[in-house]
Amino acid sequence: MSAHRATGPCGASGRVVYLFVMTGISDAAQTVDTDLLVIGWGKAGKTLAKDLGSRGRRVVLVERDDTFVGGSCINVACVPTKDLIDSAEHRADAEPAAYLRQAIASRDSLVARLRAANRAMLETVEAVTLISGEASFVGPHRVRVRAGDETLEITAEQIVINTGSSPLLPELPGIDGPNVHTSQSIQHIAALPERLAIVGGGFIAMEFASMFAAFGSQVVVLERSPRFGAGLDDDVREAVLAALTDRGVRILTDAAVESIDQTGVNTPAGRVDADAVLVATGRRPETAALNLDAAGITTDERGFIVVDERLATSAPGIWAAGDVNGGPQFTYISLDDYRVIASQLVGDGSRTTADRSAVPNTTFITPPLARVGLSEREARRQGVDHVVAVKNVADIAAMPRPKILGETHGLIKVLVDPGTDLVLGATVFCTDAQEVINLVALAMRAGVTATQLRDGIWTHPSSTEALNEVLATLPTGR
């Protein structure tokens, strides 16, 4: 199959759109010069391409995998996994295997629509050129793109690397078995496993454990350390354990996996039978194919690109955005990476990663677990003076919404500076936690006091109004 080329006005040389297909392009190697080259179609990259292209800058965006058009968030991460989680929560009495197939089909339909919308978003910007192929540096500002046996070379004054990350698989006997999945491949598992073993006890593992238990699998989580959720406060950890175990998830600690075979996994404590195994042991940067040395770009010991607070790499005129730079692996951080880099390219250059404060995060188990700022464990370790307001969700009389929805697991916990009455951090583990935590984070950034949150007028019935009652447990006199 050959490439399709379309020409149009874009300076003296004209605009060229290369659509590489399967076996590559039909013409010999050519060179394209552009103002900005974006490698990888992540949140930061696509937003930069649209922004600068709309300003008339010549932009080329290269993506090697058509199934990642729009970035990992809409294709394999945030959106499709949360769609599956929502489907799992609504299974009711439906036959598990058939219901999972329907849920996957619904997920795929949503992803296809979002992928098409993302492509259209950039195809309509005249100054943006989209190229499908694998990029590799051949010099500081020169990149070779290969598709099949054909190549195209791109020179650019400025380059942004936005290639993301992918699941990291440990070296274990049997890790390449047909029953072994990553967080990406399991989203298209052929059949619902009656027994699912999850290797790893982090937040990705928690989400999939909660999801597959709701779909109808018997789930066992294998945590290699002595404590599950070791980074959580003890009361939060116990609440998470209760939510997971109440839906049938079994959690084993001190369970480092030694090997995997077609019928299960082996640990020092014994064997765990399983029809499928999900390995959720971390992620690695997608940098191997980039030949970063040719551009003089430094990486750390894990392969992540080293950047400064303006996301600049060690090579002048080249930035790294999103997961590949080793920062927090969240889509909204990638979006803020766009803002930081755009500040260098079209702004006053003042915005940096140091401007970030009170960045929240959510783990979408059921109910969601959301956090921002300091935990009680961290405050004690750092010697930060604090008081704590905490209540179990089931005991919050002024918060009927969880009872209406039939999900009363969890707790709400807020740390407050006793001297200033400012919020230091919060854990919101309840229905709608992913929304409530944003309010708390905004309060922290804006200097809103705990007393103001406590006395706020919130809609009813909502989850936000829990702040009235929870914060009322703080010592009086403020």
Q: Which backbone phi and psi does 404 adopt, to 5 degrees?
A: -60, -40
Q: Which two tokens stand for residue 287?
A: 């940098």
4 catalytically annotated: no
Residue 120 CB burial class (10 angstroms; 0-12, 13-18, ≥19): exposed
Nearest to 130 by CA among 55, 21, 27: 21
Q: Which two tokens stand for residue 411?
A: 């707790």
Task: Give the orientation angle of helix 203-215 with respect to helix 78-89, to 10 degrees.
Answer: 40
What DSSP assignment string belongs to 55-114? TT--EEEEES-GGGTT-HHHHTSHHHHHHHHHHHHT-TTS-HHHHHHHHHHHHHHHHHHH
205 is in an annotated binding site: yes
282 is in an annotated binding site: yes
Residue pair 232/375 in contact (Cβ under 8 Å)? The answer is yes
Q: Which backbone phi and psi does 175 adopt, to 5 degrees?
A: -65, -20
Nearest to 161 by CA among 74, 289, 300, 273: 289
Q: Is the peptide bond before 367 cis (omega within 30 degrees of 0)?
A: yes
- What is the spatial distance between Cα 346 and Cα 112, in angstroms, rounded to a whole number? 32
Q: How many other C-beta atoms can be found within 10 angstroms of the C-beta atom of residue 350? A: 10
202 is in an annotated binding site: yes
223 is in an annotated binding site: yes
The catalytically annotated residue of 4, 90, 188, 460 is: 460
Q: Which backbone phi and psi does 424 adopt, to 5 degrees?
A: -95, -25
Residue 113 CB burial class (10 angstroms; 0-12, 13-18, ≥19): exposed
165 is in an annotated binding site: yes
200 is in an annotated binding site: yes
Residue pair 221/201 in contact (Cβ under 8 Å)? The answer is yes
- What is the spatial distance between Cα 113 and Cα 107, in angstroms, rounded to a whole number? 10
Tell me, rounded to whole angstroms, the distance of Cα 477 from its chain centroid. Answer: 41
Residue pair 312/319 in contact (Cβ under 8 Å)? The answer is yes
204 is in an annotated binding site: yes
* Pairing of the two strands 218-222 and 250-252: parallel
Tokens 């942004």 sit at which residue?
Answer: 160
383 is in an annotated binding site: no
How far apart, in Å, are the Cα atoms of 30 and each of 35, 36, 143?
17, 18, 12
206 is in an annotated binding site: yes
Residue type, 316: P
Task: Please enumerate, by residue number, every residue annotated as part of a binding site for NAD(+).
Answer: 200-207, 223, 282
Task: Please enumerate, by residue number, every residue annotated as part of a binding site for FAD.
Answer: 82, 163-165, 323
Instruction: Please identify every residue annotated as catalytic.
Output: 460
Task: Please enumerate, by residue number, every residue annotated as part of a binding site.
Answer: 82, 163-165, 200-207, 223, 282, 323
